[in-house]
Amino acid sequence: MSGLDAGLRRVEDALAAVAAVALLTLAGLVVLGVVLRYVVGQPIAWAFAFTTDYLLVAVFFLALPYTVRVGAHVRIDMLYRAMPPRAQRWCDVVGGVLAVLFAAALTWGGMALTTGAWAGGDVPPPGGAELSWPVWTSTIMVPLGAGVLLVRLLHDLVVHPTEPAGETRTEPPATEAGH
């Protein structure tokens, strides 16, 4: 494993850990919200905005690079498996290039969105939202996750150009000692 791959794995693992905490927080807020709404009669006013603006964005975008690395993304490969090896390799390279282009566009768009929100000082108007936090504090997760995904896809395209993303780079399965 190269130094770049090891460092990239650490960043991906850290982002995935943040995404996992966001998912657990989301679940906790939903349970707490239901309890407070139906038992106490007082819903959490800011929970919906926090969930949609922060938690869901974090769960999706921050987990993307890790998901690709371990091959946990959705893959429909019935036709692919029926292809001869040469056609599979061609599909792997073309798919890798297309994935890089998509991740680059997503990173660029996320950066434009975030820098625009930062430069414009975008904040929901008072009383217009439950959370009046600067907009860039939620949009920053888009280019962060997409940028790390872009680095992962570029790395994989250069190091493993003829392998589908996640096919051979998964961590070895945990085994019991002595077996």
Q: What's the pLDDT score for residue 44? A: 87
Per-residue pLDDT tens over the stretch 96-117: 999 999 999 999 999 999 999 9
- pTM exceeding 0.85: no
DSSP label at residue 38:
I
Of 104, 147, 110, the residue nearest 12 (C-alpha): 147
CA distances to 50, 51, 54, 135, 176 from 40, in Å: 21, 21, 26, 32, 48
CA distances to 6, 81, 111, 117 from 106, in Å: 24, 29, 8, 16
Q: What's the pLDDT score for residue 122? A: 85
Q: Would you place residue 166 in the very low, low, confident or very high pLDDT band (cuts 50, 70, 90)?
A: low
Q: What's the pLDDT score for residue 76? A: 79
Q: How many CB atoms lie within 10 A of CB 125?
A: 7
Q: How many CB atoms lie within 10 A of CB 171?
A: 8
Per-residue pLDDT tens over the stretch 16-69: 999 999 999 999 999 999 999 999 988 888 888 899 989 999 999 999 999 999
Q: What's the pLDDT score for residue 39? A: 92
CA distances to 13, 105, 124, 171 from 70, in Å: 11, 22, 38, 7
DSSP H helical segments within 36-166, as ranges?
A: 47-50, 56-70, 78-82, 85-119, 136-139, 141-159
- The domain limits of the chain are 3-159
